[in-house]
Amino acid sequence: MPFGFYFYDYTYIVLVPALLFALFAQFKVNSTYAKYSKVRNSRGITGAEVARRILDANGLWNVKIIHIAGNLTDNYNPATNTVSLSDSTYSSTSVAAIGVAAHECGHAVQHATGYVPIKIRSAIIPITNIGSSVGVILILVGLIFSAPSLATFGVVLYSAVAVFQAVTLPVEFNASARALKTLKQDFILEEDELPLARKVLSAAALTYVAALLSSIATIFRYLLLINNRRNR
């Protein structure tokens, strides 16, 4: 049987719904951010200023805020205790930028307060890295050399990716909830601005849902390939 069979076959169809949803999610987050990045917050404060204010209010004076290149490349790195804000966030006064900056600070607060899901996510990162690399290799080797058991073990390893992404969902949702609560309680955004920031964060959350669906669809496809191989 030709080697290409494993890469060009009908099982790819199970990936189509997840792919379409991923494209929709990316379009949604880009269009939503573009729309509300044009709406300036009434107080005229920047993403970096909001981030510093939230961090200091939570006693996280040791967490640094740096400016990084890119668009929506914002992140919090617990290893360096750094909130990195992108070009589209750092100096922007838009409600979209304020929402994103507050969200990243939400992750810093999660780590500081020992939020359980983020502890779990951090703990399984090494396993996830192994699963996403070694797991795929074992699957391919098992299929090529007609070793279904080896391929199945590879799927088990690869499943760590889906577990990681499943744990990521509550982490991201909670960071957004913390952000919106802080923006409201600390009067950073006005009442009519909060729904706009919420829309941006809700759109961003779709990308994490898309990632989980994609990994689940990939696992299902691998299992179909293994089952087909067993039946031949």
List active site positions: 104
The torsion angles phi and psi of 65, rounded to 5 degrees, stand at -120, 125
The residue written with tokens 């969200």 in the block is: 103
* Structure tokens that stand for 157 in this block: 């390893």
Collapsing DSSP to helix, strand or coil, 102 comes out as helix
Question: Could you give the CA distance from residue 166 to residue 56 in angstroms, rounded to a whole number?
Answer: 31
Q: Which residues of 121-132 are buried (b: 16+ CB within 10 A; e: fewer)?
A: beebeeebeebe
Largest CA distance in the chain: 67
Contact between 80 and 68 (Cβ < 8 Å)? no
